[in-house]
Amino acid sequence: MSKFTPLGIGLALGVAAGAAPMMPPALADSWIDPFTLALRAPAKSFERLGDLPLGAVIRTDERYGGDRLFQGPRGWDYWSRLEYAKPDQNPNLWPDKRPTYLVGQMVMPAGSSITVHGKFPNARYFNVSLYKFERNTFVAVGDESLDGWAIEPNPGSGNPYRVGADRFVRNRDFTLHILAEDVPKNDAARATNTIYVGRNGQEVQLAVRVYLSDAGYDGMGWGPADLPAAEPGFIYEGRLADGTPLSAEETAKHFGRPLGSAPALMTDDQWYALVDAKNNDPSLSPPTAPARAHPVWERFWTIPYTLVGAFKPLEMRDKMQWEGV
């Protein structure tokens, strides 16, 4: 049994989103006949600049859809364009058109750990965030979130997300640690590249976000969109509290949990009752509510304030609860 299971495949090359793809050096001199190129053309089509071509959507699903711990990929493209999308690919909480998500749902006993060996994606944005199951839903743990620019690269590698960094740096490896330990009380005691899930054995989700992968790459920004992959982009191993090492397969077996949707916070009947409510803002129309002619973008606060409040006159919304979840 292999110590690692490849979760992603990536090349250490990148191109700016929307720019012409850079051909990997090993394949730069390869020749593909016009007939084959013509057959591939439909898979490279997209609706607007920056969208993921259908071929890249399929490759992303093939490469990363079989992992038992970090499950996915999730996002609008995978739910809407794959012929046989899986239930856990429903982007009910992530409806954006262009991101790709991998989500690990797990329970880690106190003292256990997972080590992730990764590559910085060739993409506009990259993040790893922790969520804990509370109040009948998964709630973000603000301090346990690492944006791409905050992750320290391995010795000899570079972080392409930092100001002034080489966006196309070839060596882009990093290592993350997921510890079933309580968060240190002193920030100075926090370990580098480490996410703390706590010692209470609570069910958690670890979400890996990639927004707008570079042209010519798959949705995760690790592998080429229309060529065979060459190197692992994300591999992991685990360790029990007594120090027993775990392979990737064993890590998923010990810690992994089936990925399911969080319980609905509003039923269909409640939604339609809200749409047709008599005390809604009179400027709204049921067929399009709560859309407004002049929308205002703002942060999400609570269901009562942000969702219900979107239907109400401003003076009524100002009296609603905005604190909390």
User: What confidence score (pLDDT) does residue 320 get?
Assistant: 86
Does 12 reside within a domain?
yes
User: What confidence score (pLDDT) does residue 271 get?
Assistant: 87
Sign of the four-CA dihedral 260, 211, 65, 178: negative
Among 163, 165, 194, which residue's Cα sits nearest to residue 181? 194
pLDDT band at 249 (very low <50, low <70, confident <90, very high): very high
Does 324 reside within a domain?
no
Q: Are residues 246 and 278 in the same domain?
A: no
Alpha helices in the chain (DSSP H): 34-40, 54-64, 76-81, 248-255, 268-275, 314-317
Where does a domain end: 255, 280, 300?
255
Q: How many folded domains does the chain comprise? A: 2
Entry pTM: 0.73
Where does a domain end: 206, 221, 255?
255
Express each pLDDT in 71-94 by its tens digit.
989 998 998 889 889 888 887 766
Q: Are residues 109 and 65 in the same domain?
A: yes
Sign of the four-CA dihedral 277, 280, 284, 288: negative
Q: Are residues 53 and 173 in the same domain?
A: yes
Q: Are residues 89 and 226 in the same domain?
A: yes
Express each pLDDT in 202-244 by its tens digit.
899 999 999 999 999 999 999 998 887 777 788 999 999 999 9
User: What confidence score (pLDDT) does residue 224 get?
Assistant: 92
